[in-house]
Each structure stands twice: as structure tokens, then as C-alpha cells.
Amino acid sequence: MRRSLLLAVLLLLAAPALARAAEPSLIERPQWQKPFADAGLTGTMVLRQEGSPEILVHNPARAATAFLPASTFKIPNSLIALETGAVSNPSEVFPYDGKPRYLPEWNANLTLAQAFAVSCVPVYQEIARRIGPERMAKYLADFHYGNADIGGGIDRFWLDGALRISALEQLDFLGRLHRRELPLRRQVMDDVLTMMITDKTPTAVLRAKTGLTARVSPNVGWYVGSVTRGPDVWYFALNLEAPDNNPAAVPARKKIALDILKMEGLWE
């Protein structure tokens, strides 16, 4: 009994130190400033290899600052939709209603996978309405997704409502998705990870999602995802400030992130 009690006390005393040891350390990468400077934009980038105790970072203060996720929210939105049955599978078709939409590629019948690929906002607003606020709030809390706040309307809380997430939190979420640690069926996570594939080379696979707010000031551009090379995986999250809907921010999101991945020898 005394030995068990002593062991329990020792574990309790050691818990804070163990928790601190488990926290990743941030390693700044000054050389990552150049791609942002070349684009004339302010932003942050974080990168972490699966299993590493270190997170590489440019602009750590911004990396810890939470912003609207914009269309990067299509990742958890897809997961919740498939898990709850709000969408039956990635091939389910969403009929086009005939109304002109913001982008020409949205003006068509689209499967879930196609809507994800072209980032069709109206389709994902319909998906969120099907899921409903009760289920949406529950899963975001279970995911520990940012502040998990769906205030502002079920079909717009990630666009101009209350939801906020930082680049560091995006990194953590992506890691748990890849490791299949979210409270979801494995098939659901497999399906969404497949939907996220945007490019392949003979040696690597890129999974990613863009995002760009359009109703707040200053607007925020996102590019988040992972690179898989053989058995190794790296997670990344970039966001940048897009003042006055600066058109340069649209291509810069992906270009800056890929330039940094190339600098680190992770992408060709």
C-alpha cells in the first residue's frame, strides 16, 4: 500500500515536468522571411515532421494568433459530413441550382470531392446546414479545433463568424487527422485525406487546402496540409495578411509555402 501511494505521489509530482517535456519547441527559420518579402506580404509558416519534438517557424507571434479558417474549414466540414451521414460519400453529387456563382467552376453539378477541389463555398454551406449547429458544435469541440465557436450562423461561422484557429492549431489538427486520432471512423479520415491530395511526384505526395477570407479586414490567406515522402510526413500551415483583398495574396499562399518546402528539401 505504502509503495503504491509513494509511486502515485511521485507520478503526480512529475506530471508538470512530463507535460512540459512533451510540448514542442519552436525553432525560428530566419531564411523563410525571403519568400514573404519577395511577395511583399506579411505572414507566418510552421512546419513539423511527424514524431519530431520541434516545430520550425517563421513569425512565431503570428503563428500563435488565431484567425478565421475560411476554406481550410472544408477539411473538418467534410469529415463531419461523412461521419454523420449528412453526405453519403465523396461521390455524392450536389446539383447546380442554376444561379450564377462567384467562380465559373462552381457553376456545375459537383461531387463532394469536386466541390472540395474547387473550394465551392455554396456546396459547403449546404453541407453545414445539413449537419446542423448541434452536431457541428459537438464535433468541433471533440476535434479541439481552434476555439470551436460556431457563432455567427451555421453556414458562415468559418467565413465571417466567431470561429478562430491559429497556424499552430492547424498543425496539431492535421497531425491528429493523419494519425487517425480524431473520434471518427477510419474510412472517413481515409476518404478526406484522399480528397486532400493536390499533387504527386515520384517521391512525394502533397495534401493541401487553401483558404481566403473576403468579409473581414485585413483579410487572411491560408495554405495548410502535409507532404509525405516514403514513411515520413511533414505538416505545414501558412497564413498571410491580405490587405484590401490584395490579388497578389491568392497565388502567394501556395507559392510561398512551396518555396519554403523546397528550401527544406521536401518538395521538388
Instruction: Describe the crossing of helices 133-143 and 121-131 by its angle, rounded to 10 degrees.
Output: 100
**Catalytic residue selected from 52, 71, 91, 166:** 71
| 132, 150 contact by CB (below 8 A) | no
| Whether residue 71 lies in the annotated active site | yes
Strand segments, DSSP code E, in 18-173 are: 25-28, 43-49, 54-58, 66-67, 93-94, 110-111, 165-166
Cell of residue 26, nine digits? 519552436
Cell of residue 151, nine digits? 457563432
| 256, 39 contact by CB (below 8 A) | yes
Q: Which long-range contacts (CB under 8 A, 24 or more apart) does 157-163 make?
A: 158/68, 158/69, 158/70, 158/73, 158/77, 159/68, 159/70, 159/121, 159/213, 159/214, 159/215, 160/68, 160/213, 160/215, 160/216, 161/68, 163/68, 163/69, 163/73
Cell of residue 95, nine digits? 446539383
Q: Which residues carry out catalysis? A: 71
